[in-house]
Each structure stands twice: as structure tokens, then as C-alpha cells.
Amino acid sequence: MKFKVSNINLQTAIVIILLVLLMDQASKFFIKLNYPLSLYGNGAIVDLGFFKLLFVENKGMAMGTKLNDIFPFFSEKTAKLVLTIFRLLAIVAIGYWLWGSIQMQSANLFRLALCFIFAGALGNIIDSVFYGIIFSHSYGQVAALFPEGGGYASIFQGHVVDMLQFPLVSWNWPDWMPWVGGEHYTFFQYVFNIADTAISIGVGILIVYNKMIFGQEKIVLNLRKVKKCSSQKA
């Protein structure tokens, strides 16, 4: 399946990133400033069966995994700090990669994928770095922006706001199955946000169109080699 993308220069990349960030942060501010945490409130904000609008806060990585669950010698606060610093370094690396791909005129789909990944990663890092100091907590109450007594956590200790869930199918595992026998399971049970969606779209583009993208990358590199050899001979 062919998929054409218009030329993505620096200005276009900035627009894409800002639009994703605007949608992501606007949705998080709306949820944060209008509802308490779903776990401590009245359940889903919107429940259509196949789709639920919730309000949960993720203190760790994807699917709620925390670094101190993997490395128990870390305290929860230290694990959160390490994770946030790692995310900041990853943002810098992805941004540099995106900048380089634009400068080198890489495949447009590759640049588009990096735009989505960078915007999504940046959207979640904003939560981790700043939300703890600009919001009050949401346990059983609606959070306040810039509360008088300070936020619910220090800088780098904020929680990522998630709200989208698509519980498409539910079933009970047979009792004879090891580890999960008799347990109830829902697909897709994980709660995510617009930033996560952007990252998934970017990764999806790289997976689905990898031959097209990296085939064009090889052509670009070969053309550069030809130009370099020609200039050296001249």
C-alpha cells in the first residue's frame, strides 16, 4: 500500500509537533481541572461500553510499570527521578535525530514518524516534569491550578495523565490455564492519552512502511556518496 506525504521541512515539523502537543495538553488540563481520579470518584466519566473516558495517573512507564518494580533497590522517588531524566535524554536524542533527518532530506514518512514520536514523548515529559508543581492532587477532589500551598509533588515527580480506554472484548481464562486460569481479562484494558497515541502512530508508520522508508534512506545515502566522490574528483 502506497502512502504519499508532502515534503516535511522544519516549519512543517514544528506545526505537527505543536498541534499534537496542543491536543494532548488541552485534553489533560480539561480532565485534571474538571474531574477527580476515576479510582476515587464515580468510575468512568463517559462509558460507551467499547470506549471509556477515565482519569487515571501513571507514576511510571508504559502500562503503569514503575522502575522500582524492576529495580527494587530504588526508592519510588529516586526511580521516578531516574525515569524522568532518562525521558529527557531520550527527548534530546529523538529531537536531534529529527533535526538530522530534515537536514539530510530523509524519507518524508520517516520524518513524519519522528515528528509524532517526538511530540508524544514531549507531551508526556511535560506531565512528569511540571504537573507535580502546578497542580494540587486529584484524590477525591478536582485539582487546582497553581494552588496556594504548592503542588502535589516536586519538580520531576509529576504523574502522567491518562484518560482513553477501549475495552473491546472481555473473557474469563479457563481454570486449567497456568498463571491466569480463572481470571477475568479485558482487551484492550490499558488507559492511555493523546501523547501515547502519537507515539504509537509514529512507531506504526516505521513498522508498516519500513521497506519504503529505509529503501529511500539507502537511495539518499548512495546519492550522497556519488556527490561526494564527484566533488572530490573535481
pTM for the model stands at: 0.83
Catalytic residue among 24, 127, 162, 175: 162
Catalytic residue among 47, 69, 127, 196: 196
The predicted structure's pLDDT at residue 91: 93
The predicted structure's pLDDT at residue 64: 53
Residue ranges, the chain, pLDDT below 70:
1-6, 39-42, 60-74, 215-234
The predicted structure's pLDDT at residue 171: 82
CB proximity list for 169: less than 8 A, separation 6 or greater: 186, 187
Neighbours of 45 (CB within 10 A): 15
127 is catalytic: no
For the chain, the structural domain boundaries read 10-45+55-160+192-233
196 is catalytic: yes
Distances, alpha carbon 209 to alpha carbons 35, 111, 129, 142, 223, in Å: 40, 12, 33, 43, 21
